[in-house]
Copies of this chain bind each other. A is one copy, B any other.
Amino acid sequence: MAPEPMVSIGFIAKRTGNAVSLIRYYANEGLIPSVRTSGGNRAFPRSVIRRVSFILIAQNMGYSLANIKDLLSTLPDNRTPTQADWAKLSRVFNEHIEAKIAALTSLKASLEGCIGCGCLSLERCRLYNSDDKVAAQGSGAQLLDENVQSQFLVSHKK
């Protein structure tokens, strides 16, 4: 197989529409693989563009970089991901999307019920309590499952 063409950090930045500093940051955080040129500059396989795109999409969905790193860990670091690699990842991701849709749908129904019923006691009905308190009880060692449970992991709480 032909060796993969390597590109500069500026190239990745332009192609993904981001600042160079962000690409460098992701590289330092181990979210994207890179090697060094003889002079010390970073060199990336072209496939990193796709990886960065995925990161951006996942972030938009509410995933933290730590979560995304876990998701991406199923991709190979030493070789360019094949279609099968991405397909496997996308299956997992797809399940998460479906879970989010389901959660939003149920939130919508609850909200309509709560306002509609006249009780006005948002704090006591299923809306907030049942979903989130359960997630908060997790043992702590279940990253992806916790994602599915809490659905919108945007919380910055400790």
Interface residues, chain A, with chain B CB atoms under 8 Å away: 15-17, 49-50, 52-54, 56-57, 59-62, 83, 86-87, 90, 93-94, 97-98, 100-101, 104-105, 107-108, 111-112, 114-115, 118, 120-123, 127-129, 132-133, 150-152, 154-155
- Given A16-B123, A60-B151, A86-B120, 17 additional A-B pairs, CB 8 A: A15-B123, A17-B133, A50-B120, A52-B123, A53-B122, A54-B122, A56-B132, A57-B127, A60-B154, A60-B155, A61-B104, A61-B154, A62-B154, A86-B115, A90-B111, A101-B105, A154-B154
Counting every copy of the chain, the complex holds 2
A42 to B16, CA, bound (A): 49
